[in-house]
Amino acid sequence: QVQLVESGGDLVQPGGSLRLSCAASGNIFSIRGMGWYRQAPGKQRDMVAHITQGGSTNYADSVKGRFTISRENAKNTVYLQMNSLKPEDTAVYYCNEYPPFAPWGQGTQVTVSS
């Protein structure tokens, strides 16, 4: 089974940037795609971005042009670079396989507010 630990969330002003990290351990050889997801208060958890083992990426329309997902296979780590942050990006951010087969981690809180 895969274990996932997210980090990098913080309070940031609108227009600011953050970089989230996700470290994977366990049965990592089973991982194909990886994704970042987010859940705002009172809303469902949605996919933000995902990346294949070969590096192909896809993004939710709401973050296209602002967020970039990347992976460093040697470190079993996936990143989410978030630029031009907006208040509506406020949420708990989670990483998981894509599709999300692994148990969910604790997530990391991102708050965008002035």
Return the percentage of the chain with pLDDT > 70, whole number: 98
Measure Cα distances from 114 to 12, 44, 71, 93 in Å.
8, 25, 31, 20
pLDDT value of residue 29: 60
Q: Span 7-32, mean pLDDT?
A: 89
Higher pLDDT, 55 or 82: 82
> Which tens digit of pLDDT belongs to each residue from 64-80?
999 999 998 888 899 99
pLDDT at 30 over 70: no
Whether 31 shows a pLDDT value over 80: the answer reads: no
Q: What per-residue confidence (pLDDT) applies to 61? A: 98
